[in-house]
Amino acid sequence: MARRPQAAPRQAPPATLVIFGGTGDLARRLLMPAIAHLCGDGLIADELRIIGIGAREGSDEDLRASLDEFAPKTECWRTLRDNITYLQGDFTKPPLFNDLKAKLADAGNVVFYLATPAQFFGPIVESLAGAGLMQEKENAFRRVAVEKPFGHDLASARALNKQILAVVDEAQVYRIDHFLGKETVQNIMVARFANPWLEAVWNNRYIDSIQITAAETVDVGTRGAFYDATGALRDMVPNHLFQLMAMVGMEPPNDLSADSIRTEKAKLLEAVRIPTPAEAKQNAVRGQYQGYRKAADVNPKSNVETYVALKFWVDSWRWAGVPFYLRTGKALKARDNYMLQMQRRTAEAMQLINQSKQAKLQEQLAQTMASFQIGDDASTFDEMRDKIDRRAAAAEARMQLGSTSVDNQMQEIEKEAMDMQLQDKLLQYKKEMGLLPAGSDAPAPQALPAQGETSSRS
């Protein structure tokens, strides 16, 4: 079947992106390169403006120069770079928000991205709302994107959520995990649910353990104050790695809507067995790389972990008895954005895949061959077309099973197609000569499958 032309990517509307923490590590290493790649893919408008907000003194060019280190050296980045400006100020003081309001006086769509320490999330949103910067106009939206960690435990997460929703609408808030934007992460569900042969062995019968690793060669860099208050466990596990574990272990959603996917992820996380204190001590490892205590803004006597490895159990029918190992760390020898390993009986799993595939093809061949009882005396257009459709399906099954050659099968299909065309011409001739019964009509000719294709009729 001919491949349908792909639709042009949808471009985001013109907007202003305000980054609180615009001079920080997250903005430099992740946000700006991502925005530059979106620009290169034609997904953002040329009118995009970026305002970086930071506490240190500096100019527009100082900010641009600091962002150049990790940004791709492309023409798109050079164009985007000219639209970046800097605003210096204190997140906790009203003057900053008054200055920001003046800069956004003529702005339409605005997105506020909070790439700051978590303790600033609530106060910044309150200050934005207090300055009238979250008020939406007709055909102009206002959004706020909140990075992780969203609280340090359940109680603090609920308190932060309540604080934010007291001043803005839920539809204006995006609680994001930038890890989910990675292409390899997005491909997990495609690999799982678009491949029935793989899904057949995606369970505890054929998988002994699942290991998910997010390893980084970089150290804490300029994030010493944040990291020393957070650690590897809170920085990576309850967000990035739990999201990966949920995507790997979740059941197939009813559809690919956000609500359906979130529901299945939640079911998987609810099935994670809560360890006892003794089990937590036995199934967790914490470590710290040499030299961490000498990093800027880190306590010289810090006991915060920069490496953590955990073992979890998921009490579900699919994963009963299969341990999930989660690992992450800074300043490691090898870098992996994420590495997924699934171990056990690879040969048996592949044998099952092949057996299932062969069984399906044999079943398809048996069904199509059995349906040939219609006989060679088919006298209507639809009967002839259905017959050819079944012959094409049978030919495809035979070819995959290796029971006949492609050329021989195509000759048979082409012969049947020629017979059908003659039958169609005969029906058209009878219609023109008035030889058809009253109320009868010949179907309009339809395109035949091209060579190498099969008809889509069932």
Distance CA 249, CA 181 (A): 19
Beta-bridge partners for 341: 211
Question: Is residue 50 within 8 Å of 17, Cβ to Cβ?
Answer: yes
Distance (Å) of CA 234 to CA 84, 91, 323: 32, 24, 21
Which residues does residue 325 pair with via DSSP β-bridges, in sequence order? 211, 311
Q: What is d(CA 426, CA 431) in angstroms, rounded to the nearest whole number?
A: 9
Rounded to whole angstroms, the Cα distance separating 207 from 5 reads 39
What would the DSSP string read from start to end of 375-435?
-S---SHHHHHHHHHHHHHHHHHHHHHTSS-HHHHHHHHHHHHHHHHHHHHHHHHHHHTT-
Q: How far apart are the first and last CA of the chain?
A: 14
Round to whole Å and give the CA distance between 303 and 348.
Answer: 45
CA pair distance 213, 245, nearest whole angstrom: 11
- Residue 19: which H helix or E strand, with range? strand 16-20
How many Cα atoms sit within 13 Å of 30 on the Cβ side? 15
Is 240 known to be catalytic?
yes
Helix (H) or strand (E) holding 111: strand 110-114
Please tell me which residue in 37, 152, 178, 240 is annotated as part of the active site.
240
Active-site residues, by number, are 240
